[in-house]
Amino acid sequence: MAGHAVELDSKTLWGGKESPFSTSYGKLMMWFFLVSDALTFTGLLIAYGYTRHSAQDAWPIGEETFNSMPFLGHGYPLLYVALMTFILIVSSVTMVLAVEAGHRMDKSGVIKWMIATIIGGFFFVGSQAWEWSHFIHGSEFGKIELADGSQAIVKGHFGEIESFTVLKEGKHLKKGEIVKSDLLHQFQHAAETGKIFRSEAMISNLNNQRNIIAALKKDTTGVPGSAEKAISLKANLISLEKELALIKSKPVTAGVLILHDGSIAKINKKSDEHLMLVTKKSGNTFKVGGEPIKDKKAEELYYGALTEGTANKVVYGANLKQNEYGPQQYGQFFFFITGFHGFHVFSGVVINIIICIGVVLGTYHKRGHYEMIEKTGLYWHFVDLVWVFVFTFFYLI
């Protein structure tokens, strides 16, 4: 065995005074950081995948949730997200060109391509802020709780709200006055707080019922004539309940709402088009995964629930507690994972700006190399690669 031993000279042996891979300490530490960060994103995406699998039927579809373009409105499924992704990938290309220019000691080339990368990063961060705002505010329809206890998201074209006509004056608005400002916000606020009704007669009916119920709850023991009065109140209550049932049996319209000053106004609204309800939470009649409810039936169910005068029947947009688009966890994962990635992109933009200033000042040119651009480039490419996975998980699958 000794005859097969190979003797190595001092030039072949590694002495420990330099990197065994001919890589600088800075690059090695950047790789260590990127590997650990990749494990964090991996864990988050695995948790997202597991949660989605457990609620597959109710989980939102990307092209249904993200179908808007700035200044153009709805009807462009995933188009803006695709544009964001394209810009981020292009910024990765410009970063490669900046690194290549650094290898050639081309200072002006490094500056040019670094600025292009920074612009791409700013576009992505700004686009993500717009997307978050749109996601938080939600659609015009919201998610509605139907009479059977099921919850459904609403698709279709929302008819424009043209104005409110005041039917009963309040603290500020007079009868007959026309309201034409901030219409959608007031409409949605009234819907959330249970202040939209089928008609002014329905509001009066419900107020009378509440007054009778309150009177019946009062302790009138020993008061002369109280028993006869209670019988009369109960008879009136039954009559009001029948009247209310008759009101609800009539065709549903946009109805009336109670405005912030207490005035009652008629909602003047154009008809919706192509209305469709997709069940996201099962009830007694409608189940998750069932056929969508369309056209006239969808309109009757939606406005029937919306004009009940009951709070919390409709949910607009998403936050950490409620979610128009589907299960609550979807919004939580969306905010955390895309926000975590967005923080990485923003950090990368800030780092690129700092490094670019150093290039302009000639710091790296004086050192005789642009290795700092390479290290920044590694981070930027990692951010781009992570977005490919986030984009696939959230928007495509």
| Mean pLDDT confidence for 210-219 | 87
| Mean pLDDT confidence for 189-203 | 93
Q: Is the pLDDT of residue 288 over 90?
A: no
Quote the domain boundaries for residue 99: 22-138+329-396
If 0-12 CB within 10 Å is exposed, 13-18 middle and 19+ buried, where does residue 100 land?
middle
Distance CA 76, CA 385 (A): 25
Query: Looking at the domain assignment, is residue 154 inside a domain?
Result: no
List pLDDT tens digits, range 313-355: 999 988 888 888 888 888 899 999 999 999 999 999 999 999 9
Q: What is the pLDDT of residue 322?
A: 84
Query: Looking at the domain assignment, is residue 4 inside a domain?
Result: no
List pLDDT tens digits, range 229-253: 888 888 999 999 999 899 888 888 7
**Count: domains in the chain:** 2
List pLDDT tens digits, range 123-169: 999 999 999 998 998 889 999 999 889 999 888 889 999 999 999 99
Same domain, 298 and 171: yes
Q: What confidence tier does 118 reach under pLDDT thresholds 50, 70, 90?
A: very high
Pick the more confident residue, 187 or 64: 187
**8-state DSSP, 392:** I
Q: Is the pLDDT of residue 397 over 90?
A: no
Distance CA 200, CA 255 (A): 8
Distance CA 342, CA 292 (A): 35
Q: Give the three-class secondary structure for 211.
A: helix
Same domain, 107 and 180: no
Same domain, 114 and 171: no
Amino acid at the residue 117:
T
Same domain, 192 and 289: yes
Q: The pTM is what?
A: 0.79
Distance CA 49, CA 27 (A): 32
Comparing 15-19, 153-157, 180-184, which segment has the lowest mean pLDDT?
Answer: 15-19
Comparing 86-100, 113-127, 141-155, which segment has the lowest mean pLDDT?
Answer: 141-155
List pLDDT tens digits, range 40-60: 999 999 999 999 888 877 788
Same domain, 120 and 182: no
Q: Is the pLDDT of residue 290 over 60?
A: yes
Paired residues of 258 in beta bridges: 264
Same domain, 304 and 188: yes
**184 and 192 Cβ atoms separated by less than 8 Å:** no
| Mean pLDDT confidence for 371-388 | 94
Tokens 């190399």 label which residue? 369
Q: Which of the listed residues 287, 315, 343 is the one where a domain comes to its end?
A: 315
Query: Looking at the domain assignment, is residue 383 inside a domain?
Result: yes
* Cβ-proximal residues to 384 (8 Å cutoff; 6+ apart), any chain: 88, 89, 91, 92
Same domain, 310 and 334: no
**8-state DSSP, 396:** I
Q: What is the pLDDT of residue 70?
A: 85
CATH number of the domain that residue 338 is part of: 1.20.120.80
Q: What is the pLDDT of residue 1?
A: 47
| Mean pLDDT confidence for 155-184 | 92
| Mean pLDDT confidence for 371-392 | 93
Percent of the chain scoring above 90 in pLDDT: 57
Same domain, 186 and 62: no
**88 and 387 Cβ atoms separated by less than 8 Å:** yes
- What average pLDDT does the structure give for the chain? 88
